[in-house]
Chains A and B, each alone.
Chain A
Amino acid sequence: MKFTLSWLKEHLETGASLDEIVATLTRIGLEVEGVENPAEKLAPFRIAKVLTAERHPQADKLQVLSVDAGDGPVQVVCGAPNARAGLVGVFGAPGAYVPGSDITLKVAAIRGVESRGMMCSVRELELGDEHDGIIELAADAPVGASFAEWAGLTDPVIDVSVTPNRQDCMGVRGIARDLAAAGLGTLKPLGDVYRMGSLQPIDGSEPAPAVRTDDPDGCPAFYAQAVCGVTNGASPKWMQQKLNGIGQKPISVLVDITNFVSIDLGRPLHVYDRAKLSGPLVARRAKPGEQVLALNGKTYTLDDTMTVIADDAAVHDIGGIMGGEHSGVSETTTDVLIECAYFTPEHIARTGQKLGLTSDARQRFERGVDPAFLDEGLAIATWLVTEHCGGTPGAVTRAGRPPLERKTLSYDPGLCLRLGGLDVPGDEQRAILERLGFEVSGGWAVTVPTWRRDVDGPADLVEEVVRMVGIDNVPSTPLPRADGVARPTATAEQLVERRVRRTAAARGLNEAVTWSFISEKEAAALGGGAWTLANPISEDMKVMRPSLLAGLLAAAQRNMDRGAKSVRLFELGRRYLADGERPTVGFVLAGDRNPRDWQSGKAQPFGAFDGKAEALALLDAAGAPVENLQVTGDASAAYHPGQSATLRLGPKAVLAEFGALHPSLVKAFGLDGSVVAGEIFLDAIPTKRASGRIRPAYTPPALQPVTRDFAFLVPETLAAGDLVRAVRGADKALIAAARLFDVFTGTGVPERQKSLAIEVTLQPTDRTLTDEDLAAVSAKIVAAAGKFGASLRG
């Protein structure tokens, strides 16, 4: 919401400086986003008269002017078609910065003729879009005077961000009222501002226009008055100046009046050309599929939830949002109908959202305009029309009834301290509320003004008092602190995430945070996403990721493109599945595992076992029982089918998958070579039962452990892990560990078999093992291995 200082002062009698006003606005919740004084940028420009204009000797389209800007003749080369002797315009001397062209003027030779400055166009001074020629001022404009001062462009423009609750501050008058309540001056009576004796509509002799509302929900009240015999020319200079000052282009006096009242009072109006209407004007629901060409030149297709203003022939207005092109006023308009209606905010919001159409009128109606201001609004509009366009007003039609019921809240002034933390005496609170337009009874029944739809509870009244007294004055009050040392607050899941994150970082992985949404193609390559956005910001950010790998692979690829040789990335985040969001750790290892090195030779790529190492380390950090996990070769299609696996706890719970990625996925992400990845499904890991801090008693075995090696011939397809597990379980009391240390195929090993060598650690507990003991446990081990087709290698 933009307005100028002088505009504000039309409503506010104040001696406050601009700085005070700006500071107060922000302090009371009307945040000032910017203050701009056009005089500053126009300061170097002066009014000048063209004394003579001659053809440029070298160029047909240029003229050589002699210009007087108060200091005698100056030579200027000018290309404007309207430049001529006698013209009074705006001159910039060398050194002046021209804001519209972003150049600083200097003395220059143009086609061999010296030019010492410039006569400016409207666009060059950022006063509008016109650039057909140089500015032409009135012939009596004082030569040598500051252009900005003469043109009244010294008015600072204040831009305020009005929060959605403040319907009243969508008009300059509401802002003035708030400032007055904050003690910055007094609000002038509205009649004085508009120089009107009465703010009530006056019925003329012509008959009242035929208008009605058939949609009391969407448009409860439709007031209208006609004026015949008007002349629609340019609006008066003061109105043009105000509108220009805030960047609104004046159009014609009838249009400008509606814009002016909307900004001045937050009261949108609409003016119809009666010649283009046929039959009564009715507020009704649109028929499904009905169309209207709006003033912005676009055609909108409506449905039956939307309120329109229509006559017998057509829709002329998307009620409260935008008028129709067809019945709008033009320079030939002579008879007008002025609409001052009340549209229900919720209906406006819904219609505006559906149509994707925003306008100054919508912004006001959807916040809610003052329902008690229809008569005044109409009276002011009619007054301005007759004042500036002539014509004769007719009688007033008041169709329907605006919602005038006023809310009364029972308020306890003590709430200001209890909720606001600010001790304000009752009398002061009462005075503040009254200055804001509230009526306060002796028993603290507070009646809310009709322009404050947002206030509907005692907490809102506290806010009014606190913002006027100054929210910054609220004293800081410590929260009560629990006795003793602060207690831990992290949940089990949070502790797991922290441990996993810092374990991964300690293992040399770099944590990334990547987008939760990925492209449809990426999602499809990773099993497909369950959640696709209806309104994505781009095709690349459309589907909620079903896997963390997409973001990590894309990041790996970007790093490789930037010249990285080795990428180790991980992310801790959610996968978004149809039935919920799953906390997950993903990692990607790409490029060189080790760089080429004087000791180890060539650079080495990552392999699937690097993925296994990371997966197990992270699972261990997450508290998973890594000793008991099964490795099964059924990872998702993202992976190389022969070099990937899942890690399971029991047959069902998949805790992780890892491996070399499928070459086609690697290629799809613009990578090459062996890329290893994995995901840990944190939610699948059983939470450890809390069992106190006391550890079990320390009982180191008294006897030395014994190791024995076993080499088995097994079918080539046997998973070594299965054999190790079988060996490990052959004698649970005696076997402390079984560790595979060699895999061999070749000489001495039959075709389609391999040799697996396992070191078994035996831990005697109560006596030293005898040869018989060793023979017995060996037999058990060989028997257990035999179930997998393994035979002891001779």
Chain B
Amino acid sequence: MDIDQLKAEALGAIGAAASLDALEAERVRLLGKQGQVTALLKTLGGMSPEERQSEGPRINGLREAVSAAIAERKAALEGAALEARLASERVDLSLPAPEAPRGSVHPVSQVLDELAEIFADMGFAVATGPEIEDDWHNFTALNIPETHPARAMHDTFYFPDQMARDGKSMLLRTHTSPVQIRTMQAQQPPIRIIVPGRVYRSDSDATHTPMFHQIEGLVIDRGIHLGHLKWTLETFLKAFFERDDIVLRLRPSYFPFTEPSAEVDVGFTWTNGRRILGGNEGWMELLGSGMVHPRVIRNCGLDPDDYSGFAFGVGVDRLAMLKYGMDDLRAFFDGDLRWLRHYGFAALDVPTLSGGVGA
């Protein structure tokens, strides 16, 4: 057969191969051991050099053309097969993906992390202490003797007399202030600590729960005065509420363990019927504070002529409510998933100074 004729016939057959199997059959028919092109190639050995000179390129050209045509056809058939498979593998991606539960961090924990971050920048470490306290640490050492009217005002939860330890009756701490005493007894000034934790008062309504969270601040050093207290509170509140227009108003007050003592009001403005901290359209009571009473300093084995300091205490739950807008304290302790998801925080909402202490 003429080479050109063979070539035309072969290329036509290859192009017409409808499947990979048919194409393979063509390949074997043309390029296999008994194949037509293979047979032609074998004839080259018996030719004279002149013949080979002229026929060689033609036969090799034929082989290359056939090989290329097969490869091309193969790629086309494979592509079509893949397309067909993919078409059959189509899924409806509007169907729901497997659900992963969404966890959350409680607002109290988040706010405590925020406070720790802010106060770390001001050099305050975080200290803790027992919640089941003795009356010496909770009251007596804080200049609240047994007969002091302030003791009665604390609505204290007591444990029965037989639970007394070392002759001291046991109670649930009514504030985080006993940790002031424990810290001053355990370490030498300078002291800068915050003390977060659960505290307990026998009281229950929309704004009071028998358990709540408080954070105490304490600074003991030489030369500390009321102006330092004021600066610290202003600085912390501005950072915490992320507003520069936080205005404080100090009012003289009384706490047995501070002298002078001050209640601190913070200014608010009305925004859409809600009280938003900042400005001074009105005042709300926020925290109690004062210079640590000389007797308390002495009770801790320090010399009040040498050291002075300040302390303050503020409700953590209340800080959370003011910053994030909850209005019922009781919901904090209910564990209602709807509330936890609404007011809670994502695991990665870690407060940092660079990223901000609000989320």
Interface of A toward B, CB cutoff 8 Å: 26-29, 31, 163-166, 345-350, 352-353, 363, 366-367, 417-422, 457-460, 462-463, 466-467, 471-472, 474-479, 481-482, 486-491, 493-494, 498, 501-517, 531-537, 541, 544, 551-552, 554-556, 558-559, 562, 564, 566-569, 572-574, 576, 580-581, 594-595, 597-600
Contact = CB atoms under 8 A, between A and B. Distances in A.
A474 B226 contact: yes
Interface string B129-151: 01110000000000001111110
A536 to B, nearest CB: 7
Contact of B150 (A164, A493, A506, A515): A164
A459 B228 contact: no
Contacts of B235: 478
Contacts of B251: 26-27, 29, 31, 471-472
Nearest to B113: A498
Consensus secondary structure, chain B interface: mixed
A534 B158 CA distance: 6
Contacts of B341: 510
25 contacts: A27-B252, A31-B251, A346-B146, A349-B147, A420-B226, A422-B226, A459-B259, A475-B227, A476-B227, A476-B231, A487-B123, A502-B105, A506-B347, A511-B340, A513-B332, A534-B157, A535-B158, A537-B157, A554-B335, A555-B334, A556-B335, A559-B335, A559-B336, A562-B336, A562-B338
Nearest to A466: B260
A29 B159 contact: no
Interface in B93-115: 95-96, 98-106, 108-109, 113
B293 A350 contact: no
B45 interface: no
Given A508-B101, A559-B337, A502 B348 contact: yes
Interface stretch (B53-61, B70-78, B81-89, B197-205): B197-205
A302 to B, nearest CB: 17
Contacts of B338: 562
A555 B335 contact: yes
Contact of A534 (B99, B159, B223): B159
Given A477-B227, A503-B347, A31 B263 contact: yes
Contact of B291 (A459, A558, A598): A459
Interface of B: 95-96, 98-106, 108-109, 113, 116, 119-126, 128, 130-132, 145-150, 152-153, 157-161, 163, 170, 172, 192, 198, 200, 202-204, 210-211, 219, 223-228, 230-232, 234-235, 249-254, 256, 259-263, 291, 293-295, 308, 332-338, 340-341, 344-348, 350
B202 A474 contact: no
Contacts of A481: 122-123
B352 to A, nearest CB: 12
A418 B120 contact: no
Nearest to A459: B259
Contacts, number: 270
Contacts of B95: 598
Given A29-B251, A479-B122, A531-B132, A566 B101 contact: yes
B347 A502 contact: yes
Q: Which of B125, B223, B227, B262 has the most CB of A within 10 A?
A: B227
A533 B159 contact: yes
Contacts of A164: 148-150, 153, 254, 256
Contact of B333 (A466, A477, A502, A514): A514
Given A510-B344, A534-B159, A467 B260 contact: yes
Contacts of B262: 471
B291 A551 contact: no
Contacts of A366: 147, 149
A489 B150 CA distance: 34
Given A29-B251, A555-B335, A488 B120 contact: yes
A432 B152 CA distance: 32
B232 A479 contact: yes
Contact of B101 (A463, A493, A568): A568
Contacts of A27: 251-252
Contacts of A475: 227, 230
A11 B55 CA distance: 137
B307 to A, nearest CB: 11
A184 to B, nearest CB: 16
Contact of B335 (A166, A463, A514, A581): A514
A164 B260 CA distance: 14
Contact of B147 (A350, A517, A536): A350
A419 B253 contact: no
Nearest to A595: B99
Contacts of A367: 149
A568 B336 contact: no
B74 to A, nearest CB: 36
Contact of A532 (B131, B160, B232, B256): B160
Contact of A420 (B105, B121, B210, B225): B225
A466 B219 contact: no
Contact of A476 (B105, B106, B153, B234): B234
Given A422-B226, A476-B231, A559-B336, A572 B109 contact: yes
A489 B160 CA distance: 38
B139 to A, nearest CB: 13
A107 B277 CA distance: 46
Nearest to B203: A537
Given A349-B147, A472-B249, A478 B231 contact: yes
